[in-house]
Amino acid sequence: MTSYLIGIDIGSSACKCMIVDTTLRVVGESEQPYPTRYPQRSQAEQDPEDWYLSACRAIQSCLESSGVKANSIIGLSIAGPAHSVALMDSGGAILHPTIHWSDLRSTAQSDRLEADCGETIFRTSLCRVNPAWTLPQLLWLKENRPATFKRLRRILVVKDYVRYRLTGRYQTDVYDAIGTQLYDVHAGVWSEALLGLVGLPVDWLPEVRPAVDISGGLTPEAARATGLLGGTPVAVGSGDSVVEAAGIGAISPGHCVLKLGTAANVNLVMREARASPGAIVYQHVVEPHWFAITATNSGTSTLQWFAETFGQVMASASGKPAHELVEALAAVSEPGARGLLFQPYLQGERSPHWDPHLRGGFIGLDRQHRLEDFARAALEGVAYSLRDCFELVSVLGDPVTKLYLIGGGAKSRLWSQIVCDVIGRPLTKPVVQSAAYGAAMLAGIATDVFTGWFDAQNACALPSEDLRPAEAMRQLYDNAFGAYQALTQVLRPHARNLRRSANEER
């Protein structure tokens, strides 16, 4: 009987499930959406129950559509985003909606932590304080929801909560432990000093295990909910970015991944940990390597915002989906958008600026500009943000030897070529690019189907598409990127003042 592996990715807005055989051939896929709620301006919340239910439904759907039988599944693994945590009492009940990584409510706490002990936090966690991290989010909870914080006894990052519901095991891996900003990277333990900043006892935190260890087997309740057999092995798993990178082959120092997802990342595999104020440094699932992430808040969410803001009426009139309209409009414009520049800071910014107050704008506007120029400028603006990240991360480790382009935005030929031209380097686009695929590969390592990540990569032959930058675009985009960087620095203090004025008026 053929054996199969399951990989699950709890994404920003949907759970993706993938079934592969032991040669890593994809035999089934499914996706189940779940909501993000926005209770107030600059706030974003999710319900951990939605993560679990969407995962169960995705597994059921994948089994049904593929025809794979539950008794042929030999292991599964889960990936998911860092920082966002389920807030639980001693019995595992959810106490408060999860504060999403894009939520800015803890900006004041983040600013205070940075001012009071920013150097200690950076030195211990290798990452700067920012509202995206769990540490300032927990401090916000303590100061603004004291009754809830008093009942708090457990916190679990996204993938760990889903695995907890599947196995009953209270665990995490090093990658997601680092992502809470409560972990001492050098000592390899939870940091009592960082926990003390928010008043958390060490025993409230989960056990830290290697990502490729088996966490436990499916409980009878989880087996009924998923359609799988009780006792099916579940790996500890790891964060979506590093699992996705390993799945496409970014497993050696010098390999770099550009991801055009809801948010966008530029991620570099490093031989050793090298801290940078502009980057996030994690342990790679391929030990002993490390993984530097430069993360911008602006990715395909920028295209969605543009479509909702500028394209809805025209989309309705044309009968095309809004995102297709944006791309069609951008294709009518010309490289450089006729001198129109867009800064895509719609939700503050992470790398390389780490400024939650930063805001975006269109610059260089004159009477000649039309809607298609705004669309082109939006796509180019995200590409400039990626280059900002690439220039930071590319000097942290070994010279960059290979660049991968992945993510939902990479499905657009136009946007992919814009990114390639702006970065000015050849890019490889894997046909199969999903954290769910990397998670299935990790499940194979955890269940001894593969001896490690290099063995797993040798077992599969992923097709890919190669992109090359247009030499004719180099000077244009170099000049535009220089203007983009300079304008960001000029506008930063004004963005903070405008935010303060807007808050005072409300």
pLDDT in tens, 80-120: 999 999 999 999 999 999 999 889 999 999 999 999 999 99
Confidence grade of residue 505 (pLDDT, cut at 50, 70, 90): very low
Q: In this predicted structure, what is the pLDDT of residue 17?
A: 97
pLDDT in tens, 113-142: 999 999 999 999 998 898 989 999 999 999
Mean pLDDT of 54-65: 97
Mean pLDDT of 58-81: 97
Q: In this predicted structure, what is the pLDDT of residue 504?
A: 47
- Give the Å distances, CA to CA, from 7 to 68, 226, 262, 290: 14, 13, 20, 23
| 431 has pLDDT over 90 | no
Show me where the domains of the chain are located: 4-105+146-240
**In whole angstroms, what is the distance from residue 273 CA to residue 397 CA?**
9
Q: In this predicted structure, what is the pLDDT of residue 506?
A: 46
User: Taken in order 40, 42, 48, 49, is the CA torsion positive or negative?
Assistant: positive
Q: What are 390's two structure tokens?
A: 């690439």
Question: At 437, is the secondary structure helix, strand, or coil?
Answer: helix
Q: What are 55's two structure tokens?
A: 């995962």
Confidence grade of residue 276 (pLDDT, cut at 50, 70, 90): confident
pTM recorded for the entire structure: 0.89
pLDDT in tens, 444-487: 999 999 999 999 998 887 788 999 999 999 999 999 999 999 99
pLDDT in tens, 317-368: 566 666 677 888 999 999 999 999 999 998 888 888 888 889 899 999 999 9
For domain 4-105+146-240, which CATH number applies: 3.30.420.40, 3.20.20.370, 3.40.50.1100, 3.30.365.10?
Answer: 3.30.420.40
218-224, Cβ contacts within 8 angstroms, sequence gap of 24 or more: 218/166, 218/167, 219/166, 219/167, 219/168, 222/56, 222/165, 222/166, 222/167
Mean pLDDT of 184-196: 96
Q: In this predicted structure, what is the pLDDT of residue 314?
A: 58
Question: At 211, is the secondary structure helix, strand, or coil?
Answer: coil
Question: At 169, is the secondary structure helix, strand, or coil?
Answer: coil
Q: What is the mean pLDDT of the chain?
A: 92
| Annotation says 173 is catalytic | no
Question: At 344, is the secondary structure helix, strand, or coil?
Answer: coil
Residues 9, 240, 373, 421: which is the catalytic one? 240
| 191 has pLDDT over 60 | yes
Q: In this predicted structure, what is the pLDDT of residue 503?
A: 59
Q: Where are the alpha helices (DSSP H) in 67-191?
A: 107-125, 134-144, 146-151, 158-167, 174-179
Confidence grade of residue 313 (pLDDT, cut at 50, 70, 90): low
Q: In this predicted structure, what is the pLDDT of residue 502?
A: 58
**∠ at Cα 68 (64, 70), nearest 5°?**
95
| 48 has pLDDT over 90 | yes
Give the residue from 310, 311, 309, 365 showing the smallest Cα distance to 341. Answer: 365
